[in-house]
Amino acid sequence: MNKLEEQYEQIHPKLYAFFLSKTGNRMTAQDLCHDTFYEACKSIGSFNGQSTLSTWIFSIAGNLLKKYYRKNKYQQSLMQKLSAIPETEMPSIEELAELNEDTRILLHHISKLDDASREIVLLRIYGELSFAEIGDLIGKSENYARVTFHRLKLKIQKLMEVTL
């Protein structure tokens, strides 16, 4: 098994969760995961080792997500996707089981963050990237990513206490 295959086994669940949190659609998340690894395999020769393979793959994922948004003229924010379910549309039992109340509230609070802050939180929680990797992806220092995430985590925890 080569390094890319090993990385696939480790990063696929994280990448899927990242895409799912960004798109709110399981099929789209699966397609974007597939496309990300396809692009990574296609361009593995251009990987120069300046970052970790995981960071490189997430940067491909970020670019594909932007392309997806442009292609589909996707204008809804995560907040809109996680807002209250219309009264006429009842969620299935499966959906209710998968998205428990605490998770829904957490995602609701994350969705209220500005784009840059939301990106840091989602990359850390769902992507499980290190602060150094997040810093590389957003063009900031590791310390900036660490401090910003810590502040955002405290902010969200306070909001969760008030909500619950």
| Consecutive H or E run containing 8 | helix 3-23
**53 and 7 Cβ atoms separated by less than 8 Å:** yes
Q: Between the CA of residue 22 and those of 61, 80, 83, 123, 144, what are the distances in Å? A: 11, 11, 14, 10, 23
Please state, rounded to an integer, the average pLDDT across all residues of the chain. Answer: 80
The whole-number pLDDT of residue 144 equals: 94
Res 151 pLDDT > 90 = yes
Lowest pLDDT segment from 16-30, 40-54, 57-71, 80-94: 80-94
Domains contained in the chain, CATH given: 1-75 (1.10.1740.10), 77-164 (1.10.10.10)
Res 91 pLDDT > 70 = no
Task: Tell me the per-residue pLDDT of 114-132, one tens digit each, with 9 for 90 and over.
Answer: 989 988 998 888 888 889 9
The whole-number pLDDT of residue 25 equals: 86
Res 2 pLDDT > 90 = no
Residue with tokens 């990987």: 47
3 state DSSP class of 32? helix
Res 74 pLDDT > 60 = no
Per-residue burial over 9-44, b if 16 or more Cβ lie within 10 Å, else e, is eebeebbbbbbbbbbeeeebbeebbebbbeebeeee
Using the 8-state DSSP alphabet, how is residue 76 labeled? -
Q: Can you give the pTM of this predicted structure?
A: 0.58
Res 102 pLDDT > 80 = no
The whole-number pLDDT of residue 76 equals: 46
The whole-number pLDDT of residue 163 equals: 65
Please report, rounded to a whole number, the percentage of residues in the chain having pLDDT higher than 70.
78
CA contacts within 13 A on the Cβ side of 97: 3
